[in-house]
Structure 1
Amino acid sequence: MSDSPSPKRRGLLFVLSSPSGAGKSTIARMLLAADTQIAMSVSATTRPAREGEVSGRDYHFVTDEEFDRMLETDSFLEWAHVFGRRYGTLRNEVVRSIENGCDVLLDIDWQGTQQLKQIDPDIVRVFLLPPSMAELERRLTSRGTDSEDVIRGRMERAAAEISHWAEYDYVLVNDNADACLRRVHTILEAERLKASRRIGLTDFVRGLIG
């Protein structure tokens, strides 16, 4: 019998993207509650905090000047303009989590996903689609937080975002949150088992067979 230790696994970057209103934030919260081995990447943003949001938990809320300084010091893995504000994924936080074997969940758009793919080709990309554009508009309207003009702008942006669906590894229709969560979790668990992510697997197998 081999005395070799079981192979460990490096953390992975798990991306969820969707147009506004298609449910990625809801699915992200549900996934975090269901799985203790994955943590949310807390992005920096120049937008103001909304009611109930806490800096450091929901976002790192920064000024435009602070964001500029972070760009100058290469503090972001990726960043993008979204609805007139800037959002960025903090490099040090993500790298530290990955090196410690913790998976990182990123709630980002297609622009950020493209940037991350260039840095780390091993990321897992999941895109969530709404059941229909009519349902997407209904969800946006039911929030009661945006004007008709804002909703119209979000619908126009949604069509542009959906056009990038083919750039993702997995594409799911979010017609039921619980069912969608089960599919997302299945993808995550399967990706964790890939041989390419198992540190020391070659030595472990050699030890098994002598």
Structure 2
Amino acid sequence: MTGMGKLFLISAPSGAGKTTLVRKVLNRFKSLFYSVSHTTRSPRKNEQDSVDYFFISLEEFERKISQDHWLEWAKVHDNYYGTSKKFVRNCLGKGWDLLLDIDIQGARQIMDSDLDLVSIFIMPPSFEILFQRLENRGTDSREVIARRLENAKLEMTQKDMYQYVVVNDDLDEAIEELCSIFEKEIAQP
């Protein structure tokens, strides 16, 4: 019989490079599964249902809240986001290692659960560099960037609740540091 899989949780402020790092880890560790979240927001251009998110209605999401369906959930900018408790427990029960890319609010809920997990926080090298990265994206207005920076300040004060902190200063070094954490943790029963 297969043992329990490992649950990995990664959080970061917007612009810290989490998405890029998560992609690199998933490419390197083929046995690692990515947990797809549910959301009530509309799909963006090029997003696919059940690949990027499970897109569901507001009514269905709220019904699932009342049914204790979510391992974690949050309402962000008038849209709900959540992770299915059943999906996570099924994957882990099959012995699959599972990666959750999740915000701090959701991370705290999962850390308060009975699940054994490995938690990793991705830090930008500095607040100034974070600002530059957000501005260079060219996707957000000044107001949105300002809100993301305010959120980032709060999120970065929470880094100590994570087992590991990886500073994404040099991308190649951050990838290697993150992958070494996965190698070490996956090797441990």
TM-score for the superposition, normalised by structure 2: 0.94
Structure 1 match to 2:34: 40
Structure 2 match to 1:184: 178
Out of 97, 103, 121, the position equivalent to 1:103 is: 97
Matched, 1:79 2:63: no
Q: For the residues of structure 2 that align with 1:83 and 1:138, how far apart are their CA atoms?
A: 23
Q: For the residues of structure 2 that align with 1:25 and 1:112, how far apart are their CA atoms?
A: 17
Out of 7, 30, 45, the position equivalent to 2:24 is: 30
Structure 2 unaligned residues grouped into runs of 5+: none
Change over 3 Å in CA distance of 1:171–1:90 after alignment to 2 = same
Q: Percent identity?
A: 42
Q: For the residues of structure 2 that align with 1:157 and 1:89, how far apart are their CA atoms?
A: 21
Deviation at 1:133, TM superposition (A): 0.9
**Greater Rg over alpha carbons, structure:** 1
CA offsets per residue over residues 76-95 of structure 1, 9 Å max, x none?
A: 11112334422101112111
Q: For the residues of structure 1 that align with 2:127 and 2:80, how far apart are their CA atoms?
A: 26
Q: For the residues of structure 2 that align with 1:48 and 1:132, how far apart are their CA atoms?
A: 33
Structure-to-structure mapping, 1:86-165, within 5 angstroms:
86-165=80-159
Q: Classify the secondary structure of the residue corresponding to 2:112.
A: helix
| Structure 2 counterpart of 1:81, one-letter code | K
Change over 3 Å in CA distance of 1:90–1:190 after alignment to 2 = same
Structure 2 match to 1:202: none
Out of 61, 69, 72, the position equivalent to 1:67 is: 61
CA offsets per residue over residues 43-98 of structure 1, 9 Å max, x none?
A: 00122211111110001112211210111222111112334422101112111111
Q: Classify the secondary structure of the residue corresponding to 2:139.
A: coil
Q: For the residues of structure 2 that align with 1:192 and 1:151, how far apart are their CA atoms?
A: 36
Deviation at 1:127, TM superposition (A): 0.3
The number of residue pairs the alignment matches comes to: 189
| Structure 1 counterpart of 2:62, one-letter code | D
Q: Classify the secondary structure of the residue corresponding to 1:119.
A: coil
Deviation at 1:34, TM superposition (A): 1.1
Q: Classify the secondary structure of the residue corresponding to 1:48.
A: coil
Query: Once superposed, which parts of structure 1, at least 4 consecutive aligned residues long, lie more than 6 Å away?
Result: none
Structure 1 unaligned residues grouped into runs of 5+: 1-6, 198-210
Q: Would you say the 8 A contact 2:3–2:94 is kept in 1?
A: no
Q: Classify the secondary structure of the residue corresponding to 1:179.
A: helix
Structure 2 match to 1:201: none
C-alpha RMSD of the superposition: 1.5
Q: Classify the secondary structure of the residue corresponding to 1:127.
A: strand
Q: For the residues of structure 1 that align with 2:136 and 2:43, how far apart are their CA atoms?
A: 21
Structure 2 match to 1:14: 8
Bigger mean CA offset, 154-163 vs 182-191: 182-191
Q: For the residues of structure 1 that align with 2:163 and 2:99, how far apart are their CA atoms?
A: 15
Deviation at 1:121, TM superposition (A): 4.8
